[in-house]
Amino acid sequence: MDKRSILTVAVCVALAGTLAACNRGDAAGAGDSAGVGPIGVDFPRADSDFWNSYNKYVPTEAKDLGINLMTPTNSQNDVTKLVSNVQALTAQGAKAIVMAPQDTGAIASTITQLNSQKIPVVTVDTRPDKGGAYMVVRADNKAYGEKACKYLGDQLKGKGKVVEFEGDLSSINGRDRSEAFGDCMKQNYPGITVLAEPTNWDGAKASAALQTDLTANPDINGIYMQAGGVFLAPTLQLLKSTNHLIPAGQPGHITIISNDGIPQEFDAIRQGQIDATISQPADLYAKWALFYAKAAVQGKTFKPGPTDHNSTILDVGGGQLEDQLPAPLVTKDNVDDKSLWGNQVAK
């Protein structure tokens, strides 16, 4: 262990009640104890460009952090399969579990069971409806909805019709984004009609709903996609087939904002097919989820407050903590910013 790590540990021990010292999240010293674990990871799905990017980051980050990573499982957007995968990982000796439950209500009992076995859980992107996770690593999903609302509202000058592809409302992410977007529109842009379409994070459902909406409302001038990873390709295909894929700046262009920050969205922004996205940090999700899983195995604790990686740990109730990572708005003005993870990965 180097001098800096020794000093950090000493400060945290001596100042256990001091917030800043124990929220450092120092990744540079995190890999000192090689082979911590084993730590199990369940990937939530493989049908999303966003999650496929996250899945690729996990092994690299685990190696950098000195984690003994078990072979990851994939629950394929099925909470029953997630429960089965977690049981298998724990039977194989997992000391901590990293998961991204898509159904945040149904997973509560599994987390309770893991807690009874003294196996800490870190959840990524989604927060369980009931407490129990050692740490939640996600971005502010209400801010996603609010940023999307304000961008569309301003671009459309407060008038028009917007189709919203809602995520799965059994997921806290779908609820947070939908509620924030709807409330913001009602309060700030009453001249915009929102056509909210439930999709269950399913691109085919979103495409079918959009086709119906375009037929009934030919004056639609905006779309909010809550997940570009599953909605982008089918949406662009439909708009192209119906002659609605008109480049930004030309009459008849439908203003589109998305969530995820995948390379494909960046290309679509460059080509004028969509206008903006909110970059969900796939790289940071992997890095900090594994960091906290390692910290849990090592018996470390954290408190609410700012971290040194440009985020804030919040107490979200029930004694559960959430590290809210930054998620910037990306438009044509900053789409080529090399610091964005979407510009650092292969398409």
17-42 residues labelled b (16+ CB within 10 A) or e (exposed): eeeebbbbbebebbbeeeebbbbbbb
Pair 160, 146 in one domain:
yes
The answer to whether residue 184 is domain-embedded is: yes
The answer to whether residue 329 is domain-embedded is: no
d(CA 294, CA 302): 13
pLDDT at position 6: 34
Task: Check whether 125 has a pLDDT greater than 70.
Answer: yes
The answer to whether residue 337 is domain-embedded is: no
The DSSP 8-state label assigned to residue 96 in this structure reads: E
d(CA 117, CA 133): 13
- Give me the DSSP letters along 254-288: PEEEEEE--HHHHHHHHTTS--EEEE--HHHHHHH
The answer to whether residue 331 is domain-embedded is: no
The answer to whether residue 182 is domain-embedded is: yes
For CA atoms 63, 64, 67, 73, the dihedral sign is negative
Pair 95, 147 in one domain:
no
- Give me the DSSP letters along 133-147: -SEEEEE-HHHHHHH
Distance of CA 124 to the CA centre of its chain: 7
Pair 216, 305 in one domain:
no
Q: Which two tokens stand for residue 332?
A: 């044509």
Pair 252, 224 in one domain:
yes
Q: Which residues, in sequence order, are CB contacts of 211 under 8 Å at separation 6+?
A: 238, 242
SS3 assignment, position 223: strand
pLDDT at position 346: 62
The average pLDDT across 113-132 equals 90
Q: Which two tokens stand for residue 118?
A: 């003294």
Give me the residues paired with residue 49 across strands: none
The average pLDDT across 50-77 equals 93
CB 329 within 8 A of CB 342: no
Distance of CA 182 to the CA centre of its chain: 20
The answer to whether residue 335 is domain-embedded is: no
The answer to whether residue 336 is domain-embedded is: no
Local confidence band at 128 (pLDDT 50, 70, 90 cut-offs): confident
SS3 assignment, position 101: coil
pLDDT at position 14: 36
Pair 271, 311 in one domain:
no
What is the chain's alpha carbon radius of gyration, rounded to the nearest angstrom? 21
pLDDT tens digits for 271-305? 999 999 999 999 999 999 999 999 999 999 999 99
pLDDT at position 140: 87
Domain span including residue 223 = 141-279
Percent of the chain past pLDDT 90, that is, above it, reads 71
Pair 268, 150 in one domain:
yes
Local confidence band at 48 (pLDDT 50, 70, 90 cut-offs): confident
Say which residue, 256 or 19, is predicted with more confidence.
Answer: 256
Number of domains in the chain: 2
Pair 145, 275 in one domain:
yes
d(CA 266, CA 257): 11
Pair 126, 154 in one domain:
no
Assign residue 175 the CATH number of its domain: 3.40.50.2300
Report cis status (omega within 30 of 0) of the bond before 38. yes
Pair 159, 110 in one domain:
no
